[in-house]
Structure 1
């Protein structure tokens, strides 16, 4: 019945010429699944974002969609069945944990939560491709961009954005999908999965002296991958100039049919896991630049939560990002911050 109602609303919006609304897609399991209350990848992350969206008046602009569990056939487009069977075989009993590596720990609900996270991205891709949504934000956990095709890592079990990209390529026959990763940590899993795949442009920035410590050969540009390694303490001006120089021309030339964002907010100056000096306004600016540059997408942008572990800075940064994704433009504080940066640049010259 809900599917019929959404379809009729979509057709009505199309008939009267009104754009579909942006969506927030999540699931209650993401706020229930926890290994340890002190673990940085905590269930409190998503409610913190939701609270800030309500405070800023953004929440009411979003469609709310419940994520489905992903089908095995969709997962198999990225992760070999042998790896999926391994994860199932080590799933611990309730109250127990299984340690995959020093950072990545499975609880009883971790794999199921990961399956819903990947399912959220597939659902979001379907909705933006069918014009049932104008942009989407997947409020999911655990994150995914460190998960390689057959290996977990960095809190990640399944690579959510990779699953979404391969689903789009398989089901909608897309030839140009851009995956943009602005988490403070190098997206090694996504890089491994899409290495030398001409259908996927991977734009990746990160702090170079953090996990997973990418090799120097990852620096620079190539045909399908553009890496921007940042030094510790990099601030807004250097960050923005690097994006303008290295990412935006490549994105414009690629003309993506769909964009998937690995939206990590741990580059914020107050985040406990990174040592960069970004401001929440930088995430609004970056989102706006991506939308302006990739006008070929026509609303087909799916953002997927990755990192961001200090609740206050995570919530403010995600809200800045969603303010722009929701079609509200950059918030006034972000525009004021941009003018401040411009004034500082003028004075220094």
Structure 2
């Protein structure tokens, strides 16, 4: 067993306007960074609609299909766009995360990284926003609970932006512990420490602009202590790399080694609990930093999977 990499060419067919930070080149840089890594390559399948409906209503899916353009790029809001293959790419991101959950729970692989776009953690129940169409990681969490019967799932989000969509989709779910560090103030404006979920199962730690990796590690030490107490049977990671000091969309001061240290801490906690790890790509908009940070993250996953 080892680490699986889920990807699909559809990730490069989701088009955004010229100059948009969530660009096709993100996928190419990620794949180039992982080119020589010893990974099990798996093609991202299209998600089962029943899985998507665990988090989004049919009316929302129908609306996305109706908004999908026949050509060019359509704006859903100032930040979020669709091209003819965008919904397919988003459905394959969800399908990959769900398939990876199935595979790690079956013992076929040790852990997995989903290298797909568009990202997902800003998509709310009936609202696409923040470059995101579907709540990829939240849907995977609900599959683990409703299909596999897990009682305790952890969703850990270290993207520099708060995962408001994941929080929205899991707010009333007692079987999922959701935790996030994120810069504040910053888009989308949510993620205050006072936001704790219907069952106290949500933990947010906002970080001030300029916060470095040492501050992040202290925050994540607290999160992982709390997470360990929930005894997760599965750990899902929203892996955004836009907290990097080079990223143009935020002002945190993390570096590749900080992502590696955090990934190792997550994997160590998961191993103590006997929980496999599935990680899904979220943000990261400086292309060289994204590639280096993804490789640092996946190298630790591969080490943990030996």
Please report the TM-score for the alignment, with normalisation by the length of structure 2. 0.95
Residue 200 (structure 1) aligned with residue 181 (structure 2): no
Q: How many Å apart are 1:230 and its aligned residue?
A: 0.3
Q: 2:71 maps to which residue?
A: 94
Q: 1:67 maps to which residue?
A: 44
In structure 1, list runs of 5 or more residues that go unmatched.
Answer: 1-19, 330-349
Q: How many Å apart are 1:297 and its aligned residue?
A: 5.0
Three-state SS of the structure 2 residue aligned to 1:327 is: helix
Q: 1:48 maps to which residue?
A: 29
Structure with bigger helix share is 1
* Greater Rg over alpha carbons, structure: 1
Please report the TM-score for the alignment, with normalisation by the length of structure 1. 0.83
Identify which of 195, 201, 214 aligns with 1:224.
201
For the 8 Å contact 1:147–1:159, the answer to whether it is kept is yes
Q: How many Å apart are 1:169 and its aligned residue?
A: 0.8
What CA distance in whole angstroms lies between the structure 1 residues aligned with 2:55 and 2:196?
26
Residue 33 (structure 1) aligned with residue 14 (structure 2): yes
Three-state SS of the structure 1 residue aligned to 2:206 is: strand
Residue 167 (structure 1) aligned with residue 158 (structure 2): no
Residue 290 (structure 1) aligned with residue 266 (structure 2): yes
Identify which of 41, 53, 63 aligns with 1:76.
53
Against the structure 1 CA distance between its residues 69 and 279, is the aligned structure 2 distance closer, same or farther, given a 3 Å change threshold? same
For the 8 Å contact 2:232–2:275, the answer to whether it is kept is no
Q: 1:241 maps to which residue?
A: 218
What CA distance in whole angstroms lies between the structure 1 residues aligned with 2:271 and 2:90?
31
For the 8 Å contact 1:135–1:299, the answer to whether it is kept is no
Q: How many Å apart are 1:116 and its aligned residue?
A: 0.9
Count of residues paired in the alignment: 304
Three-state SS of the structure 2 residue aligned to 1:242 is: helix
Q: Which 4+ stretches in 1 moved above 4 angstroms?
A: 219-222
What CA distance in whole angstroms lies between the structure 2 residues aligned with 1:169 and 1:177?
8
Residue 136 (structure 1) aligned with residue 112 (structure 2): yes
In structure 2, list runs of 5 or more residues that go unmatched.
Answer: none
What CA distance in whole angstroms lies between the structure 2 residues aligned with 1:169 and 1:269?
36
Q: How many Å apart are 1:323 and its aligned residue?
A: 0.7
Q: 1:254 maps to which residue?
A: 230
